[in-house]
């Protein structure tokens, strides 16, 4: 304990350089742990976005692209599929339920999705959680809308409010479906998934919006009011994709093969979990690069600590001589320098963890708002403890270099007569 107290006092005496060294180590550890936490939580958030859906069917484009635009609202479909094909697949043996998805419009930066009431009944996330309403209920009228929790919160909508859908999925649109406003009929409870950032409308309402449009623009001279649209046949001609639930999991591969070989129209059926694994395989290179960069930052912080301790050795020879004069042995000097290195590492790790939690608290709403990624505040995982232990061990190894040097200097000074 005396050696540790002496090491702390010695560091306090060099508080400026010691403080900067601690800050460098703390920032590097916070960065390394932060990268691991974001990677781990991002995987968990993506994996929890959809559960209980056996297949996702859309136009042939690629498994990852289909998964991203249909579930995560990222990107756009290359083409649509016909309603007749949807109805045929819905009638396949072993198919228990289907949920149509129509995309392509937006509202003030949020994606709009046309779907059916089956969406609120069958959609699952976080393994077994179902969608719940904090206010209101599913669609009752053609022009009813159900808002995700984040949409309602950011735009300040309440039940009964009117909203105008814009044509196109971009942040800014100059083409609005202002002749057919929607009414907020329900607001979903938070899910921590892209559902929170989605405006849901009925598939009939989605069709009604475009009934007097063609090729992305209004048909000249044709105007159909909302009331007139309600009286028309609003069965869609095409949809973007649809979700499929089967009565037996063992039938997934046979039904998938049957859909992919569908003769009436080219279709692509993917298994969500398999497509998600493909996405992670694709992202693994970027993850490894981030890990390497973070590790190099930690190494840089430890090298800074090594440099500070080594550079102070010559000026501290008088300190070591005083210690020797009061009975300290070279081994005590070695222990003193090792203690300083370990204290640097431990304090740096503690400060780094604190900085990480501050960053998570500050960045939580930003990550949720901009990327729909919920980063929970939780105790360090076992992986984090292994990382911290490895950093402290590496600090001790780095500290052994100046400690051995101090041991030799102390031994040489003790055997020689100095003026």
Region 261-285: what's the mean pLDDT? 89
Nearest in space to 411 (alpha carbons), one of 337, 343, 286, 320? 320
User: Mean pLDDT in the chain?
Assistant: 84
Whether pLDDT at 242 is above 90: yes
Q: pLDDT (tens digit, 9 = 90+) per residue, 326-354?
A: 666 767 777 777 887 888 888 888 998 99
Phi, psi for residue 50 in degrees, rounded to 5: -140, 130
Whether pLDDT at 274 is above 50: yes
What are the helix (H) ranges across 63-185? 63-71, 83-90, 118-122, 149-155
Whether pLDDT at 368 is above 80: no
| Pairing of the two strands 268-270 and 55-58 | antiparallel
Residue 58 pLDDT:
95
Nearest in space to 60 (alpha carbons), one of 318, 288, 261? 261
CB neighbourhood size of 85 (10 A): 20
Indicate the domain borders of the chain: 2-46+284-415, 55-270
CB contact at 8 A, 346 and 392:
yes
326/161 Cα distance (integer angstroms)? 82
Q: pLDDT (tens digit, 9 = 90+) per residue, 275-330?
A: 988 888 887 787 788 778 878 888 887 787 777 777 666 666 666 666 666 666 76
Q: pLDDT (tens digit, 9 = 90+) per residue, 380-406?
A: 888 888 888 888 888 888 778 777 776
Torsion of CA 147, 151, 155, 160, to 10 degrees: 10
Region 171-185: what's the mean pLDDT? 81
Residue 4 pLDDT:
72
Phi, psi for residue 94 in degrees, rounded to 5: 80, -10
Residue 54 pLDDT:
95
Residue 312 pLDDT:
67
163/332 Cα distance (integer angstroms)? 75
Residue 322 pLDDT:
67
Residue 41 confidence class, pLDDT cut points 50, 70, 90: confident
Whether pLDDT at 419 is above 50: no
Give Rg (Cα) of the chain.
31
Residue 16 confidence class, pLDDT cut points 50, 70, 90: confident
Whether pLDDT at 117 is above 80: yes
Residue 418 confidence class, pLDDT cut points 50, 70, 90: very low
225/209 Cα distance (integer angstroms)? 10
Residue 49 pLDDT:
86
Whether pLDDT at 38 is above 50: yes
- Quick one: angle between helices 63-71 and 272-311, nearest 10? 90
Partners of 146 in the beta sheet?
186, 200
Residue 388 pLDDT:
85
| C-alpha count within 13 angstroms, C-beta hemisphere, residue 176 | 14
Q: pLDDT (tens digit, 9 = 90+) per residue, 48-75?
A: 888 889 999 999 988 999 999 999 888 8
Whether pLDDT at 28 is above 60: yes
Residue 253 confidence class, pLDDT cut points 50, 70, 90: very high
Prediction pTM value? 0.76
CA 236 to chain centre: 34
Q: pLDDT (tens digit, 9 = 90+) per residue, 199-226?
A: 999 999 999 998 887 766 777 777 888 8
Region 269-280: what's the mean pLDDT? 90
Residue 103 pLDDT:
94
Residue 378 confidence class, pLDDT cut points 50, 70, 90: confident
Residue 415 pLDDT:
45
400/394 Cα distance (integer angstroms)? 10
């Amino acid at each position: 304990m005396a050696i540790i107290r002496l090491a702390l006092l010695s560091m306090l005496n060099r508080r400026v350089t010691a403080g900067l060294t601690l800050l460098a180590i703390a920032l590097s550890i916070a960065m390394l742990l932060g990268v691991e936490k974001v990677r781990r939580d991002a995987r968990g958030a993506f994996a929890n976005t959809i559960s209980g859906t056996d297949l996702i069917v859309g136009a042939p484009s690629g498994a990852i692209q289909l998964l991203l635009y249909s579930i995560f609202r990222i990107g756009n479909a290359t083409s649509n599929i016909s309603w007749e094909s949807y109805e045929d697949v819905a009638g396949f043996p072993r198919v228990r339920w289907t949920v149509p998805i129509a995309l392509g419009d937006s509202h003030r930066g949020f994606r709009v999705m046309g779907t059916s009431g089956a969406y609120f009944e069958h959609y699952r996330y976080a393994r077994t959680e179902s969608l719940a309403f904090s206010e209101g209920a599913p669609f009752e009228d053609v022009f009813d809308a159900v808002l995700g929790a984040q949409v309602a919160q950011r735009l300040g909508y309440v039940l009964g409010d009117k909203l105008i859908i814009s044509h196109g999925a971009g942040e800014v649109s100059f083409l609005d479906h202002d002749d057919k406003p929607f009414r907020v009929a329900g607001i979903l409870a938070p899910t921590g998934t892209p559902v929170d950032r989605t405006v849901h409308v009925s598939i009939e309402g989605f069709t009604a919006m475009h009934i007097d449009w063609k090729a992305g623009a209004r048909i000249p001279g044709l105007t159909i009011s909302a009331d007139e649209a309600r009286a028309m046949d609003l069965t869609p001609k095409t949809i973007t994709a649809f979700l499929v639930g089967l009565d037996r999991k063992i039938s997934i591969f046979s039904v998938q093969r049957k859909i992919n070989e569908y003769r009436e129209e080219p279709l692509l059926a993917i298994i969500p979990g398999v497509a998600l694994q493909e996405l992670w395989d694709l992202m693994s290179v970027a993850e490894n690069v981030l890990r390497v960069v973070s590790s190099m930052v930690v190494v840089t912080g430890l090298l800074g600590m090594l440099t500070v301790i080594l550079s102070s050795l010559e000026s501290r020879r008088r300190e070591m001589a005083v210690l020797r004069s009061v009975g300290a042995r070279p081994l005590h000097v070695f222990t003193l320098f090792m203690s300083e290195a370990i204290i640097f590492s431990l304090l740096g790790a503690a400060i780094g963890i604190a900085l990480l939690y501050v960053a998570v608290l500050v960045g939580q709403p930003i990550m949720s708002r901009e990327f729909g990624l919920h980063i929970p505040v939780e105790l360090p995982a076992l992986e984090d403890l292994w990382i911290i232990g490895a950093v402290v061990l590496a600090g001790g190894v780095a500290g052994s270099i100046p400690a051995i040097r101090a041991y030799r200097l102390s031994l040489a000074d003790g055997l020689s007569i100095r003026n």
